[in-house]
């Protein structure tokens, strides 16, 4: 549940949740107990998120809304108008969190251009908090120099037991930037992982639930998604799994895998 200004650590991702089926899935998530919805300009699901929140009957103050600025909106004078359009699509006056979705492809737009604008969006009240997504350590450091230390609330990036992204998670943890894991259940690739299966069996849980429980136990946020009611409910139930320290250590020891989201125009990863 939402408590004050703290982002609910288990959120519902809305990538692919378009149209009436998408609204139904988002409603199912809200009915299952999710109070954090993650959307993006490039997902084309902001309208569906807004519709689902209104239909749910849950007060706006009880639902944390995150959206992300698309790479096509990073140029001079483009970030703030794009977020104004996002608010219109969502049907709200402010989002709880606005992120830069990706650093400018191939560095075409200077970092200071869009980081200064996202800070301006916060100053104008379009977003209560700001952050980034897919930023490696070097860009996090440069961004802090541009907009000030402590302004980046979260960094959202690929992270799960099969790809633990340790350099980046350790830096974020050390500097007070909340890690938000996308692909937190590795897009269905966890079922054959023996450590997760063994831990799951001990807790009466699926490997996917174990992965989410591990991420939450680390103090991170995770944003799984699904269009299936039973999977939406199952993922949310991961909040109730209490892993032991040995479980956490065993998951941390899973051999590192490969990055799955890796566009050729992306940043220089850590």
**What is the rounded distance in angstroms from the CA atom of residue 81 to the CA atom of residue 253?**
45
Task: State the catalytic residue, choosing from 43, 114, 153, 182.
Answer: 43
For 61-77, write each residue's pLDDT tens digit: 999 999 999 999 999 99
- Residue 43 annotated to the active site: yes
Structure tokens at 252: 């941390």
**What is the rounded distance in angstroms from the CA atom of residue 200 to the CA atom of residue 207?**
6
For 187-230, write each residue's pLDDT tens digit: 989 999 999 999 999 999 999 999 999 999 999 999 999 999 99
pTM for the whole thing?
0.96
Contacts of 248 (CB under 8 A, 6+ apart): 214, 217, 218
Q: What was the pLDDT predicted at 4? A: 52
Count Cα atoms within 13 angstroms, Cβ side, for 35: 18
Contacts of 264 (CB under 8 A, 6+ apart): none
Q: What is the mean pLDDT of the segment spanning 147-170?
A: 97
Structure tokens at 121: 């969006």
For 114-151, write each residue's pLDDT tens digit: 999 999 999 999 999 999 999 999 999 999 999 999 99
SS3 210: helix
**What is the rounded distance in angstroms from the CA atom of residue 259 to the CA atom of residue 112?**
27
What is the set of domains in the chain, with CATH numbers?
12-185+219-226 (3.20.20.100)
Write phi, then psi, for 69 (nearest 5 degrees).
-80, 125
Among residues 120, 119, 161, the alpha carbon closest in space to that of 253 is found at: 161
């Amino acid at each position: 549940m939402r408590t004050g200004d703290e982002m609910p650590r288990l959120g519902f991702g809305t990538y692919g949740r378009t149209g009436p089926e998408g609204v139904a899935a988002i409603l199912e998530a809200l009915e299952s107990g999710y109070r954090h919805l993650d959307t993006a300009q490039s997902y084309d699901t902001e309208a569906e998120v807004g519709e689902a929140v209104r239909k749910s009957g849950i007060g706006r103050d009880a639902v944390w809304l995150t959206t992300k600025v698309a790479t096509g909106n990073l140029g001079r004078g483009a970030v703030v108008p794009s977020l104004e359009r996002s608010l219109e699509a969502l049907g709200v006056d402010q989002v709880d969190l606005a992120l830069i979705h990706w650093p400018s492809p191939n560095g075409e737009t200077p970092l200071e251009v869009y980081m200064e604008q996202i800070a301006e969006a916060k100053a104008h009240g379009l977003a209560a908090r700001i952050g980034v997504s897919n930023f490696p350590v070097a860009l996090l450091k440069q961004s802090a120099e541009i907009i000030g230390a402590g302004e980046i609330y979260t960094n959202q990036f690929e992270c799960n037991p099969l790809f633990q992204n340790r350099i980046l998670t350790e830096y974020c943890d050390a500097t007070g930037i909340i890690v938000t894991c996308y692909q937190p259940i590795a897009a269905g690739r966890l079922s054959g992982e023996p450590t997760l299966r063994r831990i799951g069996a001990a807790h009466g849980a699926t490997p996917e639930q174990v992965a989410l429980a591990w991420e939450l136990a680390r103090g991170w946020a995770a944003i799984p998604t699904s269009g299936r009611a039973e999977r939406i409910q199952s993922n949310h139930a991961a909040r109730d799994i209490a892993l032991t320290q040995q479980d956490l250590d065993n998951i941390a020891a899973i051999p590192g895998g490969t990055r799955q989201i890796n566009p050729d125009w992306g940043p220089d990863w850590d």
